[in-house]
């Protein structure tokens, strides 16, 4: 694959710059809209805790359910048209939130937007593989992650101020604009996708081919399992972090906000470090180390129960997550044949989204039965266990693959 390119190397490529700018504008708009919806449901519609939680469930569940089917069509359809159509449809849908005040209509709009996103996300990943040299995939995925994490840090406070000063509709209008802006930038790209090497099969057969490739490819199976486990642990952790701050740290909402921010800071710092480590450490091993760091971070938070340990745990969680998510995405883009990439990325998106939905439903009841610290200990053990399995399994995989090449 060659020496990994740096961020400045890939930003010299005009298509990468345009995709990155579109990502920054669009993702920031998405976070603004989601936080504005939560504010509307909480303070204007006086929603219950369950009704507020359903905002996130409405947005995540379709990604878990629809993504494997969407990947089949992404592998067949024109990439550029798919991305543009997805942006335009979502731009119109979020604009409808300006005129909607019924809770279940809001859920329906979020659900539909998520269905459309299930087509856009894998299409964008395939486009990145098409536009970027193999040696630049790690850096580009890092840039995309930085755009997301930077938006996650900034958007809550900006959304709060906008809702307070100009109303939630200002957030929805910006998000709608961001989708149209993204579509306009994608229109300027030239995406020359390699022709399919095989004739399209029936939809169910195509889905089976995607899943079959994952299960037969040991490295891909491991990184997908790692990413799914990492997201499950993060969502279990995040879902109860406010309760942990209140009941264990005996602190305030302001501290809860700062701790959430530290996760994003950790991911941004980890992203900056990844391209350097990737020059010396095999990418599969970076995933193992990321799992270990995440497990240690969760363990530190649960074991000591102090403000300092919680802050260190949040930073560590972000560092480990960046190693897992960016490296796993890059490995999948590198190892997967072009004609299967949409399906494989969609399967990954489905599993990650499903893990988040399950975690949101599981975390509360389990914590009530055994307590938050024990739930965190269990999450740490799960992450460490997968890391140990990977540390023994991956070297064998590499030797086997080297033998095949030889």
So what's the pLDDT on residue 196?
Answer: 61
So what's the pLDDT on residue 226?
Answer: 85
The two structure tokens encoding residue 273: 């470090």
- 41-69 pLDDT, tens digit each: 877 787 776 777 788 788 888 888 888 88
So what's the pLDDT on residue 181?
Answer: 95
State the DSSP code for 100.
-
Total number of residues shown for the chain: 406
Tell the burial category of 273 from Cβ atoms under 10 Å away from its Cβ (0-12, 13-18, 19+): middle
Provide the CB-side half-sphere exposure for 40 (13 A, CA): 25
What is the C-alpha to C-alpha distance for residues 270 and 289, in angstroms, rounded to an integer?
Answer: 12
The pTM for the full model equals 0.78
So what's the pLDDT on residue 197?
Answer: 59
What is the C-alpha to C-alpha distance for residues 103 and 91, in angstroms, rounded to an integer?
Answer: 20
So what's the pLDDT on residue 200?
Answer: 60
Is-contact 85 141, C-beta < 8 A? no
The two structure tokens encoding residue 89: 């449809």
Is-contact 87 180, C-beta < 8 A? yes
Is-contact 329 141, C-beta < 8 A? yes
What is the C-alpha to C-alpha distance for residues 306 and 318, in angstroms, rounded to an integer?
Answer: 18
Of 135, 193, 190, 189, residue with least CA distance to 18: 189
What is the C-alpha to C-alpha distance for residues 13 and 17, in angstroms, rounded to an integer?
Answer: 6
> What is the DSSP annotation of 152-191?
HHHHHHHHHHHHHHT-HHHHHHHHHHHHHHHHHHHHT---
Residue ranges of the chain with pLDDT lower than 50?
397-406
Domains and CATH numbers, the chain: 1-190 (1.20.1250.20), 204-406 (1.20.1250.20)
Q: Which helix (H) or strand (E) holds 13?
A: none
């Amino acid at each position: 694959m060659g020496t990994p390119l740096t961020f400045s190397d890939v930003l010299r490529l005009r298509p990468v710059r345009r995709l990155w700018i579109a990502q920054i504008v669009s993702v920031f708009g998405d976070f603004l809209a989601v936080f504005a919806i939560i504010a509307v449901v909480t303070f204007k519609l006086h929603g219950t805790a369950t009704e507020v939680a359903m905002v996130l469930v409405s947005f995540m569940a379709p990604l878990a359910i629809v993504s494997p089917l969407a990947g089949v069509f992404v592998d067949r359809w024109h990439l550029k048209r798919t991305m543009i159509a997805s942006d335009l449809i979502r731009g119109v849908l979020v604009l409808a939130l300006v005129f909607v005040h019924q809770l279940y209509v809001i859920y329906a709009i979020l659900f539909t937007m998520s269905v459309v996103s299930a087509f856009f996300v894998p299409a964008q990943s395939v486009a990145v593989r098409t536009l970027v040299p193999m040696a630049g995939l790690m850096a580009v995925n890092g840039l995309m992650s930085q755009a997301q994490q930077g938006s996650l840090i900034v958007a809550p406070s900006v959304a709060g101020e906008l809702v307070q000063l100009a109303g939630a509709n200002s957030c929805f209008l910006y998000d709608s604009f961001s989708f149209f802006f993204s579509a306009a930038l994608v229109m300027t790209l030239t995406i020359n996708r390699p022709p399919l090497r095989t004739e399209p099969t029936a939809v169910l057969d195509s889905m089976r081919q995607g899943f079959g490739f994952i299960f037969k490819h040991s490295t891909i199976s491991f990184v997908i399992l790692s990413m799914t486990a990492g997201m499950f642990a993060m969502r279990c952790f995040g879902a109860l972090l406010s309760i942990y701050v209140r009941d264990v740290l005996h602190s305030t909402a302001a501290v809860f906000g700062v701790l959430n921010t530290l996760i994003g800071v950790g991911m941004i710092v980890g992203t900056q470090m990844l391209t350097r480590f990737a020059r010396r450490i095999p990418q599969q091993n970076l995933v193992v180390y990321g799992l270990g760091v995440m497990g240690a971070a969760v363990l530190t938070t649960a074991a000591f129960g102090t403000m300092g340990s919680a802050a260190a745990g949040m930073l560590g969680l972000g560092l480990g997550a960046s190693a897992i998510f960016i490296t796993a995405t890059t490995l999948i883009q590198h190892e997967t044949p072009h004609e299967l990439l949409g399906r494989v990325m969609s399967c990954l998106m489905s599993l990650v989204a499903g893990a988040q939905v399950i975690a949101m439903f599981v975390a509360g009841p389990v914590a009530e039965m055994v307590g938050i610290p024990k739930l965190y200990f269990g999450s740490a053990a799960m992450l460490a266990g997968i890391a140990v399995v990977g540390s023994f399994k991956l070297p064998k995989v590499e030797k086997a693959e080297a033998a095949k090449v030889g």
